[in-house]
Amino acid sequence: MPDAVRLEVSNEAARQRKLVQTFYDSFGWRRGDDGVYGDTAMFVDRRSLVQAYERICRLRVNRYLPRVGRYLLDAGSGAIAHPEYLTYSKGFEKRVCVDISRAALVEARQKLGDQGFYVLADLARLPFRNGVFDAAVSAHVLYHVPESEQRDAFHEIHRTVGQGGRTVVIYGRSDAPLERINEYLWHTYYRLRAGVARRVKSLPIVGLMLRTWKRTTIAPDVTPTAPTQPVTPPIYSHTHDRAWLAANLPESWRPLIVSGGLVGRSFTTRFIREDLIGAALLGVIARTEEVAPRWAGRIARYPMIVLHASGADGA
């Protein structure tokens, strides 16, 4: 790669990294008036029915981590925003939380106290020696690493896990089949609704009623000013496809891909209602992940990637 191109890629990666750091320091790991983190409010469907399903997904990580050990690497720990995340290090002496956000580490310390070590670092350049950890976990983080550095981040995390250890990464897929169906149905619904509205407005009686209503409606003297909304800082993310994962995760790591969440927030907010039908649909989704984990991993919105260090037993 020519030096000029390399410099341009490096500068772009630095910009993307800064976006993520600023987002979490200024908003993502700050609590709102309701006590909820900005990240949770923005990305998580907090309705009780959906949260019951997501708790199942978060706890599934424990099946692939060792039960006990000395050091667990939490790569991109964030604020450890969900109680289920605490269970990952239950059998470990220490949990080493690494993040580029200082606010994340402050919040993580409040959850873990003396059980944790807290390191401000970049996941693509970990300051640890080879094989120092018994296991590693990285939940919903690596797709926020700059696109050009995600391979380095995978390799760095794997490098630091010792023989017989495992790494569990919850990654993302923007092209997951259910997400594509979700977007197609939603856009189709809006196109049909807009078409029906245009046809209705074109009817002579409806047009007369609308013109009459406009003439008789008195506009207010002063247009009310909408309350100022806080500006949410931008955040960077990029998800590679399955072909990229296959090309960049060596076969010697014996990657196993299962489901870390078959559907995401955009699907649940549109199609899951807080009723028996919604409960039944989420039940089918959760059951599918149980009986066909690898198949579910192929179509999951959030694939869970299990990597084995040399000498680890298969899952």
Confidence class of residue 203 from pLDDT cuts 50, 70 and 90? low
Average of pLDDT values for 51-80? 97
Average of pLDDT values for 305-314? 73
Q: What is the mean pLDDT of the chain?
A: 87
CATH of domain 3-174+236-308: 3.40.50.150
Identify the residue with better confidence: 255 or 5. 255
Average of pLDDT values for 90-102? 97
Distance between CA atoms of residues 49 and 185, nearest Å: 23
Token pair of 45, please? 């469907």
In this prediction, residue 14 carries a pLDDT of 94
In this prediction, residue 77 carries a pLDDT of 97
| pTM, 2 dp | 0.83
- Using DSSP bridges, classify how beta strands 161-170 and 256-259 pair: parallel, antiparallel or unpaired: unpaired
Distance between CA atoms of residues 301 and 250, nearest Å: 23
- What tens digit of pLDDT does each residue of 135-192 get? 999 999 999 999 999 999 999 999 999 999 999 999 998 777 766 665 555 556 456 6
119: helix, coil or strand?
strand
- CB 233 within 8 Å of CB 10: no
Percent of the chain at pLDDT > 90 equals 73
In this prediction, residue 7 carries a pLDDT of 58
Sign, Cα dihedral of 67, 69, 74, 78: positive
Average of pLDDT values for 266-272? 90
What does each C-alpha distance from 247 to 96, 194, 251, 255, 292 come to in angstroms?
A: 29, 44, 9, 11, 24
Confidence class of residue 216 from pLDDT cuts 50, 70 and 90? low
Distance between CA atoms of residues 161 and 163, nearest Å: 7
In this prediction, residue 228 carries a pLDDT of 54
Determine the distance from the C-alpha atom of residue 267 to the mean position of all C-alpha atoms in its chain, rounded to a whole number.
14
* pLDDT at residue 275 tops 70: yes
256: helix, coil or strand?
strand
Token pair of 244, please? 């990229």
